Structure 1
Amino acid sequence: MADSTVLVLVGSLREASVNRQLADLAAETAPAGVTFERFDRLGELPFYNEDIDNESVPEVVAALRDAAARADAALVVTPEYNGSIPGVLKNAIDWLSRPYGNSALKDKPLAVIGAALGQYGGVWAHDETRKSFGIAGPRVVEDLELSLPTQTLDGKHPRESAEVAAKLRDIVGKLVAEIG
Structure 2
Amino acid sequence: MTVRILALVGSLRAGSHNRQLAEAAARHAPEGVHIDIYDGLAELPFYNEDIDTADAVPSAATRLREAVAAADAVLLFSPEYNGTLPAVLKNAIDWLSRPYGAGALQNKPTAVVGTALGQYGGVWAQDEARKAVGIAGAKVVDTTKLAIPHSATRFAETHPQEDTEVVEGLHKVLDELTANVPAA
- Using structure 1 for the length normalisation, give the TM-score: 0.96
Instruction: Give 1:13-162 correspondences, 5 Å limit.
Output: 13-56=12-55, 57-149=57-149, 150-151=151-152, 153=154, 155=156, 156-162=158-164
CA contact (8 A) 2:105 2:133 kept: no
Output one character per residue of 1:105-162: Cα deviation in whole Å (capped at 9) or x when no partner.
2111100000001100100000000000000011001112111111561512112211
Q: 1:35 to 1:144 in 2, by over 3 A?
A: same
Deviations 1:43-88 (A, max 9, x none): 1111100000011301000000000110110000010000011010
Q: Deviations over 1:14-61 (max 9, x none)?
A: 121110011011111212222212211111111100000011301000
Kindly tell me: are residues 3 and 100 of structure 1, through their superposed partners in 2, closer, same or farther at Cα, counting changes over 3 Å? same
Which has the higher mean CA deviation after the structures are superposed, 147-156 or 96-105? Answer: 147-156
Residues 3 and 33 in structure 2, CA contact (< 8 A), matched pair in contact too: yes
- Note if contact 2:21-2:114 (Cα within 8 Å) is conserved in structure 1: yes
Question: CA separation in 2, counterparts of 1:164 and 1:39?
Answer: 21
Secondary structure, aligned partner of 2:100: coil
Unaligned runs of 5+ in 2: none
Query: Percent identity over the alignment?
Result: 55
CA contact (8 A) 2:27 2:161 kept: no
| Cα RMSD, aligned residues only | 1.1
**Paired residue secondary structure (1:46):** coil
State the number of aligned residues.
179
1:14 and 1:151 map into 2 onto residues whose CA distance is 13
Give unpaired runs (5+ residues) of structure 1.
none
In the alignment, is the contact (CA less than 8 A) between 1:30 and 1:173 conserved in 2?
Answer: no
